[in-house]
Amino acid sequence: MSIQDIIEGKKQWRAHLARVKALPPDYQIVYKEMQKYLFKVGPVSLSDGTLLPGIVDFFEEGVGAGKGVLELIGTDVAAFCDGLIKDCPTYADAYQESISGEPGTAGK
């Protein structure tokens, strides 16, 4: 990874955060909780940069439609996040597979 890649990544992250800050306060609170949960659970695909911006896109559409954030995702933030990443391997899955030696055994 070059210095230019790091700089570009920071620019993209700052633009992403600016979009989050433009959301209504209730959306911002829920987004931050989702982000915290996803960083903790650690889906491997989180680093590809599409999941979090996709959530912001979804929230912006909800704001545009005049819906409250809980109308969009329900009252269980963790369950909603789990639904988003249900088919994505997590770092916990990768670790479990590395110690068991068998792919696909995580969570069993």
Tell me how far the alpha carbon of residue 83 is from its chain's centroid: 11
Contact indicator for 14, 27 with CB cutoff of 8 Å: no
CA distance 7 to 54: 22
* Domain covering 3-98 in this structure, CATH number: 1.10.1900.10
pTM, whole model, 2 decimals?
A: 0.78
Q: What tokens appear for 54 in the block?
A: 């996709």
pLDDT, tens only, 26-48: 999 999 999 999 888 877 777 67
Residues β-bridged to residue 43 = 90
Of 4, 8, 77, the residue nearest 37 (C-alpha): 77
pLDDT, tens only, 51-85: 889 999 999 999 999 999 999 999 999 999 989 88
- Give the helix, strand, coil percentages of the chain, each rounded to 5: 70, 0, 25
